[in-house]
Amino acid sequence: MNKDTIAGIIPARYGSTRFPGKPLADLKGKPMIQRVYEQASKALSEVYVATDDERIAAAVKQFGGKVVMTSPDHQSGTDRCAEALDLIEAETKKTFDVVINIQGDEPFIEPELLETLACCFHSSMTEIATLVKPLKTPDDLWDANKPKVVINGDYQALYFSRSPIPYLRHYPKEEWHLHHKYFLHIGLYAYRSDILREITNLQPSILETAESLEQLRWLENQYTISVRTTRHESIGIDTPADLERVLQAGLL
Q: Which of 87, 80, 91, 86 is nearest to 12 (CA)?
A: 80
pLDDT confidence of residue 121: 97
The CATH number covering residue 33 comes to 3.90.550.10
pLDDT tens per residue across span 44-81? 999 999 999 999 999 999 999 999 999 999 989 999 99
Q: Is residue 24 part of a domain?
A: yes
Q: Is residue 6 part of a domain?
A: yes
Ranges of residues in the chain whose predicted pLDDT is under 50: none
pTM of the model: 0.94
Contacts 24+ apart (CB under 8 A), 239-245: 239/18, 239/19, 240/19, 240/25, 243/19, 243/25, 243/27
Separation between Cα atoms, residue 215 and residue 20, nearest integer Å: 25
Separation between Cα atoms, residue 132 and residue 142, nearest integer Å: 16
> How many structural domains does the chain have?
1
Q: Is residue 44 part of a domain?
A: yes
Q: Which of 148, 138, 144, 133 is nearest to 171 (CA)?
A: 138
Q: Is residue 152 part of a domain?
A: no
Length of the chain: 252
Separation between Cα atoms, residue 10 and residue 110, nearest integer Å: 15
Q: Which of 101, 39, 100, 105 is nearest to 239 (CA)?
A: 105
pLDDT confidence of residue 9: 98
Task: Give me the domain span that covers residue 49.
Answer: 1-109
Q: Is residue 54 part of a domain?
A: yes
pLDDT confidence of residue 2: 74
φ/ψ region of 124 (left if φ > 0, alpha if ψ in -120 to 50, else beta) reads alpha
Q: Is residue 250 part of a domain?
A: no
pLDDT confidence of residue 80: 96
Q: Is residue 231 part of a domain?
A: no
